[in-house]
Amino acid sequence: MLILLKLLGSIALLIYGMKVMSEALQKMAGPQLRHLLGAMTTHRVSGVATGALVTVAVQSSAATTVMTVSFVNAALLTLSQAISVIMGANIGTTLSAWIMSAGFSFNIGSLVWPAFFIGIILIQTGRHRYVGDFLFGLSFLLFALGMLKQTGVEMDLASKPAVVNFFASFPTNYGTILLFLLIGTILTALVQSSAALMAITMVLCATGAITIYQGIALVMGENIGTTVTANLAAMNANIQARRTAMAHLLFNVFGVLWVLALFFPFVRMVCGIVRLDPEAPGQNPVQLSFALATFHTCFNVINTAVLIWFIPQLEKLVCLLIKPRSIDEESEFRLQYIHGGLMKTPELSVFQAQKEIVVFGEKMQRMFGQVQELYGLQDEQAFQKLFERIKKGEEMSDRMENEIGKYLGDVGDSHLSDETKEKIRSMLRQISELESVGDSCFNLARILHRKRDNKIAFTDELEKGVQEMFALVSEALTRMNAVLSGRKEDFDISLSRDVELRINGCRNAWKQYNIESLDNHVYGYDIGTVFSDLIGECEKTGDYIINVAEARLGAIKEI
């Protein structure tokens, strides 16, 4: 029982160590890696290289594939570009297998304690804290590998007749290979960590519990099981993102199929590279671990080398398999980029949330466009239908604020950099002000409904005033969405403030005109009241819009 607990604890520590390492690396280089992912994918070969580079940097193929799915969802990558990046991610993740095989080749205990010591000093002093986090995660990873190696020796499964007889009862044929492939797929899908299953496979092979054939079958299953993460992340995303995740699955399934067709010759070829006889009993544990790592690398490199020339065909296949959904985007509430709890790294979660805020801003601009359309409608039925859509839009804005705010609150509970904490504060203010824009749009719709119910008709001058205010608010919304979706460094808050000043000036001018017209009895008080409410609410909308831009750019509001 104690040995079993040590095994489970070592695996848990291994997963935690890799998670801490990945998060620390993303804190140090996350924005640069995201820009790299978006910029270096113009050709299929550069896309593969980029995917491999990013995965090696963050030590998580799941993080790279989920990031890629989000880029496709945001229309920053095409489907073909994303497929090439995922191919590269599969190559990059093979580094993890080599790190683990190295853990079986020499005593790494001497490296753990200095790394722990230096890491905790860097974390506590606050200087180079992310480097300290990385060393801390690396220490846990190395310590877990050492514990796994020691636990494997203590288990001594090769000397347990019951264990040996159980695994020996599986003949070395395709039936056994398929069974172990299925086991590897299911376990990886449940654990969502191919690295953890790779470590277990190495322990089982090193202790003689399973043959190298069975171990390689498990590794093949792990390659399919690891695609579950990306497919879960894309479940509620747009069609292109779902197709990207499906392409990841098909890529690995195709690789498994051709390896199965050539299984025994291919395994003997891989074993020959590390000078291992797959049929001989009592193999060297180090050679066994290197054989597994070599197979993992050969599998992904050859699979990529073959499929990179068939990316257009793979793209057509996933388009056939994943059909578009018929969804009314305006009436159905659905977050596009964040799906509660599926983002494993806080830095990626913040990136996803900012993309969701961009969608929030675009929805608010469309909602204001509906208000403008409502103003000109004469048909009663069409007016009521559009009014209800605006009402639903206001309810949707409330839900978006709540969902994004809750998501950011959950992310804020993680260990974050100071820069990321500031981003979250900025985002919380952005969604609050965007929700206020939604409230203002509904208030404008209600004023127009009152105007219609009371059969109020504006004079030509008042019509001109309304259209002038509408045009300025629409310009402010366009500017706001450009700020939300672009790089902060490319924008100056003075341009947004200029639009706000023009809105205020227009409001003041038409307010004065309204007062003078009422004094001169140009039109009745009921008309003047509705006009004043309409112009005043437009000005409030402009205030909320400039608040969003200031929150995004980190500008201090001028008093």
Mean pLDDT calculated for residue range 169-188: 85
Query: Does residue 192 or residue 98 have the better pLDDT?
Result: 98
Return the minimum-mean-pLDDT range out of 106-110, 136-140, 190-194: 106-110
pLDDT at 536: 94
* Max mean pLDDT range (75-79, 113-117, 246-250, 332-336): 246-250
**Burial zone of 460 (CB within 10 Å; 0-12 exposed, 13-18 middle, 19+ buried):** exposed
Query: Does residue 234 or residue 122 have the better pLDDT?
Result: 122
| pLDDT above 60: residue 494 | yes
* Helix (H/G/I), strand (E/B), else coil: 521: coil
| pLDDT above 50: residue 282 | yes
| pLDDT above 80: residue 140 | no
pLDDT at 330: 39
**How many Cβ atoms sit within 10 Å of the Cβ of residue 416?**
19
Average pLDDT, the chain: 80
- Indicate the CATH number of 346-553 among 3.10.580.10, 1.20.58.220, 3.30.460.80, 3.40.50.9100: 1.20.58.220
pLDDT band, very low/low/confident/very high, at 410 (cuts 50, 70, 90): confident
Quote the tokens at residue 141: 């990873």
pLDDT band, very low/low/confident/very high, at 408 (cuts 50, 70, 90): confident
pLDDT band, very low/low/confident/very high, at 110 (cuts 50, 70, 90): low
For residue range 205-263, what is the model confidence (pLDDT) as tens digits?
877 778 888 889 988 988 888 787 667 766 666 677 778 888 888 988 998 999 999 98
The whole-angstrom separation of Cα 116 and Cα 288 is 29
Mean pLDDT calculated for residue range 8-25: 72
Query: Does residue 452 or residue 276 have the better pLDDT?
Result: 452
pLDDT at 224: 87
pLDDT band, very low/low/confident/very high, at 76 (cuts 50, 70, 90): low
Among positive and negative, which fits the CA dihedral 264, 270, 272, 274? negative
DSSP per residue, 185-220 = HHHHHHHT-HHHHHHHHHHHHHTTSS-HHHHHHHHH
Query: Does residue 169 or residue 400 have the better pLDDT?
Result: 400
375 and 446 in contact (C-beta within 8 Å)? no
The whole-angstrom separation of Cα 68 and Cα 72 is 6
Q: Where in the chain is the domain with CATH 1.20.58.220?
A: 346-553
Query: Does residue 365 or residue 281 have the better pLDDT?
Result: 365
Mean pLDDT calculated for residue range 269-273: 88
pLDDT at 341: 45
pLDDT at 105: 61
Considering only the C-alpha atoms of the chain, give the largest distance between any 2 of them, rounded to a whole number of Å: 107
The whole-angstrom separation of Cα 182 and Cα 256 is 11
530 and 449 in contact (C-beta within 8 Å)? no
Name the one residue in this structure whose structure tokens are 């995201």: 34
pLDDT band, very low/low/confident/very high, at 369 (cuts 50, 70, 90): very high
pLDDT at 529: 93
Taking CB atoms within 8 Å and a gap of at least 24, the contacts of 263-270 are: 263/174, 263/177, 263/213, 264/213, 266/298, 267/212, 267/213, 267/216, 267/295, 270/216, 270/294, 270/295, 270/298
Return the minimum-mean-pLDDT range out of 86-100, 135-149, 486-500: 135-149
Name the one residue in this structure whose structure tokens are 């500031």: 422
pLDDT band, very low/low/confident/very high, at 458 (cuts 50, 70, 90): very high
pLDDT at 343: 47
Give the count of alpha carbons within 13 A of 411, CB side only: 33
pLDDT at 196: 73
The dihedral region occupied by 275, where left means phi > 0, alpha psi between -120 and 50, and beta the remainder, is: left
**Burial zone of 225 (CB within 10 Å; 0-12 exposed, 13-18 middle, 19+ buried):** buried
| pLDDT above 50: residue 134 | yes
- At a CB cut-off of 8 Å and minimum separation 6, what does 338 contact? 349, 352, 353, 356, 403, 404, 407
Name the one residue in this structure whose structure tokens are 């009436």: 331
* Helix (H/G/I), strand (E/B), else coil: 497: helix
Quote the tokens at residue 241: 């993102």
504 and 539 in contact (C-beta within 8 Å)? yes
pLDDT at 430: 94
Quote the radius of gyration of the chain (alpha carbons, Å): 30
Cα separation values, 448 from 80, 95, 177, 334, 398, Å: 47, 63, 70, 28, 22
* Max mean pLDDT range (9-18, 352-361, 528-537): 528-537
Cα separation values, 152 from 15, 206, 236, 501, Å: 18, 7, 41, 72
pLDDT band, very low/low/confident/very high, at 62 (cuts 50, 70, 90): low
